[in-house]
Structure 1
Amino acid sequence: MAAPARRLVRPTLFICDLQEKFRNAIYEYPKVIATTQKMLKASQILDIPVFATTQLRGKLGETCSELGLDAQDGVKTQAHADKSAFSMWVPEVQKAFNALGSEKRECIIVGIESHICVTQTTLDLLREGHKVYVLADGVSSCNPQEVPIALNRLRTEGAVVTTSESFLYECMGDAGIGEFKQISGLVREYSSKTKESLQALCKF
């Protein structure tokens, strides 16, 4: 019997503007960080390319250090771009993204703010013909009331609003793939943090 194939074959992770200056401004920011950490670990197991941005880094600070992006022992990104535009779909990101190939991809988005940068990034990626997954336990805004409005809009625009755990199992698609044991272990490792993120960010 042939080895099972993954259900999603070209996933790509987008991390939007998770910077130091937002720690005290964004609703339940530590929960967004925790979900992003889980997805970064999954990206290493499943070999998922990672794109990240900062918004006006000189004013708003570097990407949060605990994410370890581009650190010596951390996750290497395809692009880690600074921007003034709200959407992540800026020339530096586009160039690195297009270098992966011409096929349409499954784009996963975590970060902030749900109703601004996450929304505009999602709309741009949908316009380019990609399938977009917005992780509801991995996005937030300064005002929590903005989040469900943004997610409802993105659903109507054609994005898939889901959770980190649901996405990871959809990405695998089969318990017979070689990485299943590592991903199921990761899910168990983050079980309590995932529960906390869901309770904080998905209650509206």
Structure 2
Amino acid sequence: MLFFLGFDVLVAVANIGRLSTKDAVLFLCDMQEKFRPNIFQFNNIVSNAARLLQASRILGIPTILTEQYPKGLGPTVPELGAGDLTAHAKTSFTMIIEEVEKELQALGSPKQAILCGIEAHACIACTTYDLLEKGFEVHIVADAVSSRSQTDRLFALSRLKQSGAYLTTTEAVLLQLVEGAKHPNFKEIQKLLTHPSPDTGLLAFFSAL
């Protein structure tokens, strides 16, 4: 929180969570072959994450990719479109392993994380906690995050919001990053908005809250 003193009035300005292409990193967590049959809405989750990856390339946003024990759980699924990225292998739940920390330092220590992948109550949660403790502003893309059960997924999102993460959606992120038709890459991003986002089971839950 920042404080400004003017006209003898102390005004507090809270962080409002505005995304910026200059400060953001896209985190893609463990979207691997062996998880495919068991993760709720897996295909739609990967589809949304793939759109965010395409946008990150257009807008020059760096991307970090991890794989959980790839020897046993297989590689990242090809439809994510991340074949050109270096996947950091891990066995811990958090993505914030030594290799990732070094990559973040090399990027100039950015302060915004756009987080996608699985599982919401395990690796996404632990990564969020670590990022928040490091001073990151964490934007969890709710329709690009899931778990094996819808219950674990939805209550994880609710819990992470309590911890200070922002919950958002794929299209909200895309639109916030360009902020309007005057952005030089707007037409390229607009192509990623041509088709409505698939229903990933969130609407009914949050409508009931």
The question of whether the paired residues in 2 share the 8 Å contact of 1:105 and 1:131 is answered with: yes
Tell me the alpha carbon deviations over residues 53-85 of structure 1, each in whole angstroms, 9 at most, x when there is no partner: 111111111111222323xxxxx43x5201000
Query: How far did 1:149 drift?
Result: 0.8
* Map of 2:117 onto structure 1: 111
> Is structure 2 residue 130 aligned with structure 1 residue 130?
no
Distance 2:76 2:202 in 1: 21
- Taking CA–CA contacts closer than 8 Å with sequence separation of 6 or more, which of the two structures ends up with the larger relative contact order? 1
* Map of 2:24 onto structure 1: 11
The amino acid that maps onto 1:50 is T
Equivalent pairs counted in the alignment come to 187
Query: How far did 1:110 drift?
Result: 0.6
Identity %: 38
Distance 1:24 1:7 in 2: 33
Residue from 98, 103, 110 that aligns with 2:105:
98
> Is structure 2 residue 199 aligned with structure 1 residue 197?
yes
The amino acid that maps onto 1:174 is G
Residues 7 and 91 of structure 1, relative CA distance in 2, 3 Å threshold: closer
Distance 1:10 1:201 in 2: 28
Query: How far did 1:7 drift?
Result: 5.8
Tell me the alpha carbon deviations over residues 145-173 of structure 1, each in whole angstroms, 9 at most, x when there is no partner: 01111111111111100101111111222
Q: Which has more radius of gyration? A: 2
Give the secondary-structure state (helix, strand or coil) at the position aligned to 2:192.
Answer: helix
* Map of 1:159 onto structure 2: 165
Runs of 4+ in 1 over 4 A off after TM superposition: none
Residues 185 and 128 of structure 1, relative CA distance in 2, 3 Å threshold: same
Which stretch shows the higher mean deviation, 170-179 or 43-52?
Answer: 170-179
| TM-score for both structures, normalised by structure 2 | 0.84
> Is structure 2 residue 177 aligned with structure 1 residue 171?
yes
The question of whether the paired residues in 1 share the 8 Å contact of 2:139 and 2:168 is answered with: yes
> Is structure 2 residue 56 aligned with structure 1 residue 54?
no
> Is structure 2 residue 62 aligned with structure 1 residue 34?
no
Task: Output the aligned Cα RMSD.
Answer: 1.6
Query: How far did 1:10 drift?
Result: 1.6
Give the secondary-structure state (helix, strand or coil) at the position aligned to 1:115.
Answer: helix
Query: How far did 1:182 drift?
Result: 1.0
Structure 2 unaligned segments of length 5 or more: list them: 1-17
| TM-score for both structures, normalised by structure 1 | 0.86
The question of whether the paired residues in 2 share the 8 Å contact of 1:7 and 1:172 is answered with: no
Structure 1 or 2: more helix by fraction = 1
Query: How far did 1:201 drift?
Result: 4.1
> Is structure 2 residue 57 aligned with structure 1 residue 44?
yes
Query: How far did 1:40 drift?
Result: 1.1
